Amino acid sequence: MIKPYTKARLYINMPLNEGKIITLASDQMHYLLHVLRLGVGAPIAVFNGVDGEYLATITEALKKRCSISIKVRLRPQIQCHDLWLLFAPVKKARLDFIAQKASELGVRVIWPVKTDFCQINRVNDDRLTANAIEAAEQTERLDIAEIKPFSSLLTALQHIENDRLLIWCDEASAGHPALNISAALTTAPPHEKAAVLIGPEGGFSDSERTHLQSRANCLKVSLGPRILRADTAAMSALSCYQSICGDWKN
Ligand code: SAM
């Protein structure tokens, strides 16, 4: 089926099936009726991260209520490449940026981790999830990046399967041509799953380095000659991964 043009694409947190009528939450109603100025009959696309993407039309546009009717399925559900991002969180706006951009770049799991030199003690999971949803709506991806609860780096590493390639971006490798991320990924062992690890503003501690160095399936890489801020480093590493091993290859 040729995908019809729709001005809006909404994430709906409930099962979707043909013929279902859904009353929208007030923020979604505001977005459709007042920001986009859509009215009864307007087509929109909806998805829930599980059932694929559906065409829907607005069936009711009242002052305090907006309903949509689910029509045909446009696309079956697919998941993004099995790529995770583990990172030591930074302050608010840049944390939002990381969640949004990592979602745009097709990361399946976003995992904020507490490292020895991380200055942040709390992370608002709901806010990260809202960023991931907004990015999914914009980028036409069908799944929502999963936000793992903020946990210690060691806990997170214990949950990383042995066959998941861990791409450790180490600022101490900056400028070492032998560790250049592009070369490292081009010759990386074949793998189905990967995770990029980004440290905090203070970098990794000696004991974290020792732990990571002894880990199997861990690829220590440089992101070039300059020390990048954590958010720049994360997006650079994810872009390199997607172009060499991930879904930009196709
Ligand atoms: N304060 C640290 C220093 O000056 O050595 C810099 C930490 S950097 C702001 C934050 C994280 O980004 C690092 O822990 C690393 O994961 C990643 N990073 C930044 N630049 C990098 C580079 N050139 N190569 C590899 N990783 C880099």
On whether residue 3 sits in a domain, the answer given is: no
Q: Which residue has the tokens 């780096």?
A: 153
φ/ψ (deg, to 5) at 151: -145, 170
233 CB near ligand 1 (under 6 Å): yes
Domain that holds residue 49: 9-75
CA of 215 to the centre of ligand 1 (A): 20
CA of 223 to the centre of ligand 1 (A): 8
Domain boundary among 75, 95, 114: 75
pLDDT digits (tens, 9 = 90+) for 57-74: 999 999 999 999 999 999
Domain boundary among 75, 93, 124: 75
Same domain, yes or no, for 208 and 109?
yes
This prediction has a pTM of: 0.95
Same domain, yes or no, for 102 and 54?
no
CA of 79 to the centre of ligand 1 (A): 30
CATH number at residue 20: 2.40.240.20
On whether residue 18 sits in a domain, the answer given is: yes
Same domain, yes or no, for 133 and 33?
no
pLDDT digits (tens, 9 = 90+) for 115-162: 999 999 999 999 999 999 999 999 999 999 999 999 999 999 999 999
Scanning the chain, the segments in alpha helix (DSSP H) are 26-30, 92-104, 125-139, 153-159, 181-186, 206-213, 230-244
| pLDDT given for residue 249 in this prediction | 87
On whether residue 1 sits in a domain, the answer given is: no
176 CB near ligand 1 (under 6 Å): no
Same domain, yes or no, for 54 and 129?
no
Average of per-residue pLDDT across 71-83: 96
On whether residue 203 sits in a domain, the answer given is: yes
